[in-house]
């Protein structure tokens, strides 16, 4: 069986679709040898690497997340909040180190001071994960070993290239596929989010070309800041993966 690498993009609540993909892969008997993730994808990769099932991770996310980012910011609650994320990590993954994960994990972050993208695969786990998910303007950067970490998606929201030489085949899960939304009324947050994704679209497209199988679930109607549709998003990710079952099984 080929060594499979799995890449999980950022995307806030839309990252729940990664769990649907993981559920489908488990049912197919496909187990990634290594996971590369950023922001929400990194957090999901850590929980999965620690031995949690996709549905267990879904329940953890639902139990610790408010229905909207506004509630998260106002209450300092939910997995959108660095404080709550750290508490959940300490409880769910008691050993603070990459080396304790059952599946190797690469986490991409942005050092906002040096303006560079960095990938971590060893050392302390919590600060790197929290930093990778720290959305700029909503949450403060995370100090870590002389750096200031923010959301890794700022510079690389689909970190495929860091898997070079670490696996035979790559499955990519990108939950931010840009579509023509002409005629759709966008909120101010959605406009901001769309501008960010437009700015990094070329980088994401180049990374996507490195994947042997690319899964891009149709999630354009779901806000990255809201968890109330988590079950729907999980199912969409699952069905999109099942639709590519033939190609996925060929990798194994």
3-state secondary structure 139-190: CCCEEECCEEEECHHHCCCCCCHHHCCCCCEEEEECCCCCCCCCCCCCCHHH
Q: Which residues pair with 105 in a beta bridge?
A: 35
**Count of beta carbons in the 10 Å neighbourhood of residue 229:** 18
Options 36, 39, 81, 173, the catalytic residue: 39
**Tens digits of per-residue pLDDT, 148-206?**
999 999 999 999 999 999 999 999 999 987 655 555 566 666 676 677 667 777 888 89
d(CA 72, CA 13): 12
- Residue of 162, 140, 124, 137 lying closest to 41 (CA atoms): 162
Structure tokens at 45: 């990769």
pTM score of the predicted model: 0.91
Q: With contact defined as beta carbons under 8 Å apart, do 34 and 103 qualify?
A: yes
**Count of beta carbons in the 10 Å neighbourhood of residue 195:** 9
Q: Residue 127 to residues 85, 122, 141, 142, 163: CA-CA distances in angstroms?
A: 10, 12, 10, 7, 22
Does the active-site annotation cover 39?
yes
Options 9, 81, 127, 151, the catalytic residue: 151
Question: Between 3.40.50.2300, 3.40.50.150, 3.40.1090.10, 3.40.50.1100, what CATH number should domain 4-246 receive?
Answer: 3.40.1090.10
Would you give per-residue pLDDT tens digits along the chain (252 residues)? Answer: 689 999 999 988 899 999 999 999 999 999 999 999 999 999 999 999 999 999 999 998 888 765 444 344 333 434 456 778 888 899 999 999 999 999 999 999 999 999 999 999 999 999 999 999 998 877 889 999 999 999 999 999 999 999 999 999 999 999 987 655 555 566 666 676 677 667 777 888 899 999 999 999 999 888 777 788 999 999 999 999 999 999 999 997
Does the active-site annotation cover 151?
yes
- Residue of 109, 116, 117 lying closest to 135 (CA atoms): 109
Scanning the structure block, which residue is given the tokens 């200031």?
Answer: 148
């Amino acid at each position: 069986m080929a060594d499979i690498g799995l890449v999980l993009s950022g995307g806030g609540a839309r990252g729940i679709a990664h769990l649907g993909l993981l559920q489908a892969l488990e049912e197919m008997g496909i187990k990634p040898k290594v996971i590369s993730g950023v922001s929400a994808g990194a957090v999901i990769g850590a929980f999965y690497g620690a031995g949690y099932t996709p549905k267990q991770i879904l329940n953890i996310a639902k139990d610790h997340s408010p229905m909207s980012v506004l509630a998260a910011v106002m209450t300092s609650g939910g997995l959108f909040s660095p404080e709550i994320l750290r508490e959940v990590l300490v409880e769910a993954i008691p050993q603070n180190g990459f080396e304790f994960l059952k599946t190797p994990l690469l986490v991409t972050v942005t050092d906002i001071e040096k303006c560079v993208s960095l990938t971590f695969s060893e050392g302390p786990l919590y600060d790197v994960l929290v930093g990778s998910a720290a959305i700029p303007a909503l949450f403060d950067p995370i100090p870590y070993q002389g750096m200031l970490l923010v959301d890794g998606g700022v510079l690389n929201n689909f970190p495929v290239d860091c898997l070079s030489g670490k696996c035979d085949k790559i499955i990519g899960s990108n939950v931010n596929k840009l579509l023509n939304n002409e005629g759709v009324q966008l909120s101010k947050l959605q406009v901001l989010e769309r501008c960010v994704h437009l700015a990094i679209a070329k980088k994401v497209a180049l990374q996507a070309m490195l994947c042997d199988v690319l899964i891009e679930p149709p999630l354009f109607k779901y806000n990255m800041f809201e968890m109330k549709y988590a079950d729907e998003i999980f199912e969409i990710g699952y069905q999109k993966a099942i639709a590519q079952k033939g190609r996925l099984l060929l990798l194994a």
